[in-house]
Structure 1
Amino acid sequence: MDTTSAVRARGIGKWFGEVIALDGVDLDVAPGQIHGLVGPNGAGKTTLLGLLLGLAVPDEGGLEVLGTPVGRALAVPEGVAGFVDGPGLYPSLTARQNLAALAALRGTGTDAIDDVLEQVGLTDVAADRVRGFSLGMRQRLGLAAALLTRPRLLVLDEPANGLDPAGKKHVHGVLTRLAADGATVVLSSHRMDDLEALCSEVTILATGRVVFSGPLSKLSTENRELDYRLRTSDPEAARELVAGAPGVRLLDEPGARQDGDVLVVRTLVPALDELVARLVRAGIGVRELAPVVSPLEAAFLALTEQEGATR
């Protein structure tokens, strides 16, 4: 196997009784990459993350983590950290005490505690008991606990759960800096905007199978129609122009128009580019142009629905 990969899986299978959680999964994640796992509930994301953390082992196939073959539970190499199904914390202890207890269990020093609390934005509540923390604060404390180990591979299950805008900013900053420093991050999320902002590559799972894996750029909308919100300086003139534009369909069905100034059009990217050029030539200002559904979400829906239909 290629030891230059932070994660390399070939033909991974995992089942629980008669339930097939993973079915022939291949995965390659390069060092310094933020890699997203996407899929509907029950697709196998959490199971795969658990394998990367050494909480279980595959029933078939081969798995390497940081260049080390993983053949038994809790056998992942040093440098792997993270959580699945939420971080395990002591509610009766403070944030700082939780991190100190974890450092003691691992036999490491406590010098980094203040630093990781600052990184995740919890310095002001370091002396507060965790039982009073919100979901987002507990997620950030779980991330701080993982950072104590200075991980080379960070595995996170829904780290954006419960985050307010400030918490989201802290978490995004931490993950981006880790990747810039050469660490690898594998995370699952239902938040498509987070994945698009953070990830260089994604893997989409459906019913335990990989239906797509690769750079976000490969999920191009060049060959898939999308709906776009279009707001212009002259809605009526824009409506007339859109009606005559080749390859562009104006949507007027219920719910398509958000308000009187917004048009919703369905088209491919090349035709959309030509539409914008026509609007500019006509002296109509384009004030907003955005997908109604993000390209990643559109691809996710199309691929998972297709996989479900073949089962």
Structure 2
Amino acid sequence: MINLDNITFRYGHKPPVVQGLSLHLRPGHIYGLLGSNGAGKSSLMRLMAGLLYPTDGQIRVNEREPRRREPAFLEDLFFLPEEVDVPALTLAKYVATMSPFYPRFSDGQFRNYLKVFQLPADIGKLSDLSLGQRKKVFISFGLATNTGVLLMDEPTNGLDIPSKAQFRKVVSAALTDDRLIVISTHQVRDLDTLIDSVVVLNDHELLLNAPLEQVSQRLRFETSGRDIPADVLYAEPSLRGHAVVRENYDATDDTPIDLERLFNAAISSPQRMKTLFPDQKR
């Protein structure tokens, strides 16, 4: 469980990266943390991991303060940054060195994830791998730690299209009722069919924090003709007219969610989004 209470963070005397942000994330869910470049996603991830300290406010992860970096906190959280410092070690040596820090690490699961990603178990030096191969190794290791909290920042950067499908497969299978997974990305479509809750950041604030089931009850994703309905939150040209996001007046009649359009709707109509989702914790 992750609780952020009125968090503000800034680098030195610069404008705040996030300001007055409150957020509650629960285990048993895969959250998609969406935002444009510079929206504060990576900083928020590092705050949760205890690598950055909030300027104001309080963060609790499994009832512990991340900034204290206590052993019990560290052994139950794995953070995969966007850019990984790759040691000049063989895979076997890396696993032998790092896995003892995670009591629930499973070597069998790790090797199975490598197999799904079509990587050999006898990989030599990690520094000799391509970017995509490195990402697959560290994604596999992070999943195999079986930590209660798994944070991944832009994990699909460097993955080709088949590998992104494999990523969605292994991550969805790794979710349990007592595990919380947060995936940050600006490549919104990479999270299609994977996440069950969405968090949208923009301009230093939280615009949306809602389960996708609730999103489908309150918003419709449709294609209209040349004329754009007056009540739309977002519209973009398509081959058949306009792809639109509008309010759903019949919660029993939902439409498939388009994450990219949802993100653009939140950015384009932030006040209406807040009105439609007033019960989220900001």
TM-score normalised by length of structure 1:
0.69
Cα distance change on mapping 1:98 and 1:299 into 2, 3 Å = same
Which of 67, 90, 113 is the matching residue for 2:107? 113
Contact 2:219–2:247 (CA under 8 A) maintained in structure 1: no
Aligned pairs for 1:141-180 within 5 A: 141-180=137-176
What SS does structure 1 have at the residue aligned with 2:42?
Answer: helix
Matched AA of 1:124: P
Cα distance per residue 1:273-310 (max 9 Å; x no partner):
xxxxxxxxxxxxxxxxx99xx632122123224559xx
Residue 42 of structure 2 aligns with which residue? 46
Cα distance change on mapping 1:298 and 1:96 into 2, 3 Å = same
Matched AA of 2:179: A
Give yes or no for the alignment of 1:93 onto 2:89: yes
Q: Larger Cα Rg: Structure 1 or Structure 2?
A: 1
TM-score normalised by length of structure 2:
0.76
For 1:172 and 1:150, locate their aligned partners in 2 and report how far apart those are by CA, in whole Å: 17
Aligned pairs for 1:163-242 within 5 A: 163-180=159-176, 182-220=178-216, 226-227=222-223
Residue 122 of structure 2 aligns with which residue? 126
Residue 81 of structure 2 aligns with which residue? 84
Give yes or no for the alignment of 1:304 onto 2:243: no
Give yes or no for the alignment of 1:30 onto 2:26: yes
- Measured after TM superposition, the shift of residue 37 of structure 1 is 0.5
For 2:218 and 2:194, locate their aligned partners in 1 and report how far apart those are by CA, in whole Å: 22
- Measured after TM superposition, the shift of residue 45 of structure 1 is 0.4
Cα distance per residue 1:65-93 (max 9 Å; x no partner):
012234x3524453111222333321x32
What is the aligned-residue identity percentage? 24
For 1:49 and 1:88, locate their aligned partners in 2 and report how far apart those are by CA, in whole Å: 17
Matched AA of 2:113: Q
Contact 2:7–2:57 (CA under 8 A) maintained in structure 1: yes
Q: CA RMSD in A?
A: 3.5
Cα distance change on mapping 1:130 and 1:25 into 2, 3 Å = same
Cα distance change on mapping 1:131 and 1:152 into 2, 3 Å = same
Give yes or no for the alignment of 1:55 onto 2:51: yes
Cα distance per residue 1:201-238 (max 9 Å; x no partner):
1110002200111112343496667547xxxxxxxxxx
Contact 2:86–2:127 (CA under 8 A) maintained in structure 1: no
Residue 13 of structure 1 aligns with which residue? 8
What SS does structure 2 have at the residue aligned with 1:102?
Answer: helix
